[in-house]
Structure 1
Amino acid sequence: MAKKPPRILSIAGSDSSGGAGIQADIKTIAMLGGYAMTAITSVTAQNSVGVQAIAPMSGSVVAQQIASCIDDIGVDAIKIGMLHDAEIIAAVAEALEDVSVPIVLDPVMISTSGSALIDPKAIAALRDMLFPRAALITPNVPELSHLLERSLGTSLEMAEGAEELANKCGAAVLAKGGHTEDARIVDVLYAPDSALGARAVQFEHARIDTPHTHGTGCTLSSAIATLLGHGQPLEHAVRLARNFVLRAIEEAPGFGAGNGPLGHHAVRSLN
């Protein structure tokens, strides 16, 4: 009998253009051999040039989606993305109270095109209710700067910020360096309580000259969750997930007039 795929639940917003959010998560999870389930937190009208409308779900509906999946299908790992407001955040936290699988939390605050995706008043709720439950938090530099309330312009400052956030919330932090001023992209994984003690790991690659990066954060976080669901250790899951994102950027189909979607469907190797 073939091994069953890991059951991955994505709790995130819907992207009507298919490049980010739930749609990117489903594509990623499927390509990496997982079984994708979803709890949609918000419906958005968006495309490669921006977000035109956002309609959040009620907290009770989000919680019921989570329960419907976990109570029947079960779950091996969870990815959390866009959570629009404090009501939704509180509902998600309560729904996951007794769940003990790895949670990868992507603190989605601003879209690639620069549109705000979370109520500013909800950020404190996110930090207080969900950060302590996460195995990994994956902020980009603007998100990390916002969470720490100071500017982070270089990879060194980003690494220091990752350590600070990890120590504050007790979760590992993967700080994503695509927005720094450095010539190469450097991501930093800081694990405050790994098997080897506190540990920082740096990942680096050349910048890819392309506008087609819509959904990179969603894709990375759902890829890490899927690989954790397969039983990969955190550092290796991050390394393989980054490779998946890089290959998907290289295979981008070139759709849209702005920041176009990735080519999830065309990734054939994680090397």
Structure 2
Amino acid sequence: MPPNPAPPRVLTIAGSDSGGGAGIQADLKTMLALGVHGMSAITSVTAQNSLGVQGVWDLPPEAVRAQIRAVADDIGVDAVKTGMLSSAPIVGVVARELAGLGAPCVVDPVGVSKHGDPLLAADAVDVLRTELLPRATVVTPNLDEVRLLTGIEVTDETDLHRAAAALLALGPAWVLVKGGHLPGDAVDLLTDGSTDILLRAERLPREHTHGTGCTLASAIAAHLARGDDVPTAVRAAKTYVTGALAAGFPLGAGIGPVDHGHLTRAGTV
């Protein structure tokens, strides 16, 4: 029998979460659930659990570069997702490597963990703005990351448009401003500057939300690798994340993870 064709290939460039709820681990679980082949370039190792981040150790930039090149030169890449990049040298290396890949890239500009632990050095923020965001097909900041990147404080739904305009000025093709921390319905704004799409969903009263941002960005990348355009990919990713969030479960003594395998457990795949 002939071999099965390879599925679409997605590379995540991010930190490792030893608790398995976010970071590289969440990315690879999401990619598997959505039918793509996940590959990884680890930027940092964290000692992390449901209570927070106890330690962070960055890999040398050359190690990050070598991982990216090993994957790209042999296997190939149909889409990229970036997460925790930690330091200015790592952000710079990733931006330069992405320039040669020619694949759509989803940038999750991770600044702090779910527990408030800093995951991006202060001197890396400007490199992220000037070198990485211009490479992004989609950038997916939450409201804290909007403030970090633009200085804009989003307090209501009308501020989403102002924040998105400021982010688009930094060079990404599309911006998805995640308004999940606003009161009322969960409202996100997706825009490329000419098309505005408001994604509104009923707020789920859930405690176990660890890994939500990583999961969303990875799901978008998976759908882009499968050939979807950006609006279609974002809508499909939102549907997946909403299901994962609804199925989140307690783990440890703190914030539990979303359920990346909810589709399988629900019998829909």
Structure 2 vs 1, CA of residues 70 and 84 (structure 1 numbering), >3 Å: closer, same or farther? Answer: same
CA-based RMSD: 1.3
Contact 2:138 2:172 in 1 (8 A): no
Alpha-carbon distance, 1:83 to partner: 0.4
Residue 190 of structure 1 aligns with which residue? Answer: 191
Question: Separation in 2 of the partners of 1:159 and 1:211?
Answer: 28
Task: Please say if 1:168 is aligned against 2:170.
Answer: yes
Alpha-carbon distance, 1:150 to partner: 2.8
Task: Please say if 1:94 is aligned against 2:90.
Answer: no
Amino acid at match of 1:76: D
Contact 1:90 1:129 in 2 (8 A): yes
What pairs up with 1:251-270 in 2 under 5 angstroms?
Answer: 251-268=247-264
Contact 1:131 1:171 in 2 (8 A): no
What pairs up with 1:210-221 in 2 under 5 angstroms?
Answer: 210-221=206-217
Contact 1:141 1:158 in 2 (8 A): no
Question: Separation in 2 of the partners of 1:220 and 1:265?
Answer: 14
Unaligned 5+ segments in structure 2 are none
Which of the residues 118, 121, 124 maps onto 2:120?
Answer: 118
Task: Please say if 1:222 is aligned against 2:218.
Answer: yes
Residue 195 of structure 1 aligns with which residue? Answer: none
Q: What SS class does the counterpart of residue 40 from structure 2 fall into?
A: strand
Task: Please say if 1:244 is aligned against 2:240.
Answer: yes
Contact 2:45 2:57 in 1 (8 A): yes
Question: Separation in 2 of the partners of 1:187 and 1:43?
Answer: 30
Residue 103 of structure 1 aligns with which residue? Answer: 105
Question: Separation in 2 of the partners of 1:244 and 1:135?
Answer: 20
Contact 2:129 2:170 in 1 (8 A): no
Alpha-carbon distance, 1:3 to partner: 4.4
Residue 81 of structure 1 aligns with which residue? Answer: 83
Question: Separation in 2 of the partners of 1:3 and 1:163?
Answer: 41
Amino acid at match of 1:18: G
Q: What SS class does the counterpart of residue 47 from structure 2 fall into?
A: strand
Residue 204 of structure 1 aligns with which residue? Answer: 200
Aligned-pair identity in percent equals 44
Amino acid at match of 2:187: V
Question: Separation in 1 of the partners of 2:196 and 2:158?
Answer: 12
Task: Please say if 1:234 is aligned against 2:230.
Answer: yes
Contact 1:142 1:179 in 2 (8 A): no
Amino acid at match of 2:185: R
Q: What SS class does the counterpart of residue 169 from structure 2 fall into?
A: helix
Structure 2 vs 1, CA of residues 113 and 62 (structure 1 numbering), >3 Å: closer, same or farther? Answer: same
Question: Separation in 2 of the partners of 1:10 and 1:183?
Answer: 32
Question: Separation in 2 of the partners of 1:122 and 1:253?
Answer: 34
After the TM superposition, which segments of 4 or more aligned residues of structure 1 sit over 3 Å from their partners?
A: none
Q: Tell me the TM-score normalised to structure 2 length.
A: 0.95
